[in-house]
Structures are given as structure tokens and as C-alpha cells.
Amino acid sequence: MRKACLPVWTFLAILLVMTLVGFFAVPSAIQAAQNIYIRLQADYNLRMSKGLAQFVANRARDGISRAQISKEAQAIIANSDVDRGYSCIIDQKTQTYINHPMQSAIGVDISTKRGFFQTDLQDTSEQKWQHVVPQVQSTEGILTS
């Protein structure tokens, strides 16, 4: 009678192990991969933003008008893939978008996003976006809704 039950117990043991692995190991592996992807994307967006800031600074130093610089910067960031993150330029005084990948967002107040700004992926403290913008010259982070 005991030998007849051995395949059943073996099957149940394997099923239990697979279920436990599915519940614990797979979600943590997915989370780790997601964090790596977000970190890589944030690094890319930071480099893009620094390049854009350097471009604007160089053009301003060369005496190019603000309107022309804005037009050129908009041409650079136009049609960026906003789902993967993007660079934008915000007027600190009026808190409106000067340049944004979506043309329709230009001139829109950032408070309409009703988002929160997180400066570090590991940091859980979030600040309202419209409170972060007037305080800093340049920063990177994640905008969450």
C-alpha cells in the first residue's frame, strides 16, 4: 500500500515546491529586473537632460535669443517616447512647460499633472511636483501620478 502512494506523494511534493517558487521567487525576480530597467532608463534620461541643458547654455552664451533657443530645444525633444521617460524644460517662475515632447503640453501649468516627484528610486518620500520645481536648478527623478 505504501509503494502505491509514493508517486502521489512525489507529485504533491513537486507541486508544492513549484507553487512556492512561483509565489516567492518569480515576483522577486521580476521586481529586480524592473528596478534594473528603471535605473537604466533614469540614467539615460539624466544624460539626455544634461546634454539638453548644456545645449541651451551654449546657445545662450553665444547670444541666441530665448525664443530661438526654445524653438531649437523643442525640435530636439519633440516626439520623444514619453512612455520611457523624457526631458522637458519648465519655467520656474510661472511653473509652466516651456518645452515638452507633446506639443499640446507647452504652456500648461505643471500643477495640472497632480503628480508627485521622487528623486531617488529607493526613497519612498515624495514631494508635490510644483513644490520641487522652484527650489532647484536641475534635477532628475520620477514623476508619479
Q: What is the pLDDT of residue 13?
A: 94
Query: If 0-12 CB within 10 Å is exposed, 13-18 middle and 19+ buried, where does residue 64 land?
Result: middle
For residue 142, how far is the Cα from the chain centroid? 5
Query: If 0-12 CB within 10 Å is exposed, 13-18 middle and 19+ buried, where does residue 141 land?
Result: buried
Q: Dihedral of CA 6/7/13/16: which sign?
A: negative
- E strands within the chain? 89-91, 96-99, 116-118, 127-128, 142-144
Are 141 and 116 within 8 A, CB to CB? no
Q: Dihedral of CA 77/80/84/89: which sign?
A: positive
For residue 123 the three cell numbers come to 526613497
- Enumerate the β-bridge partners of residue 96: 91, 109
Closest CA to 138 of 65, 39, 45, 49: 49
Q: What is the pLDDT of residue 125?
A: 65
Q: What is the pLDDT of residue 35?
A: 86
Q: What is the pLDDT of residue 100?
A: 85
pTM over 0.75: no
**Domain ranges, ordered by start, for the chain:** 2-144
Report, as ranges of residue numbers, the positions in the chain whose pLDDT lies below 70.
1-2, 82, 113-125, 129-130, 133-145
DSSP three-state, residue 144: strand
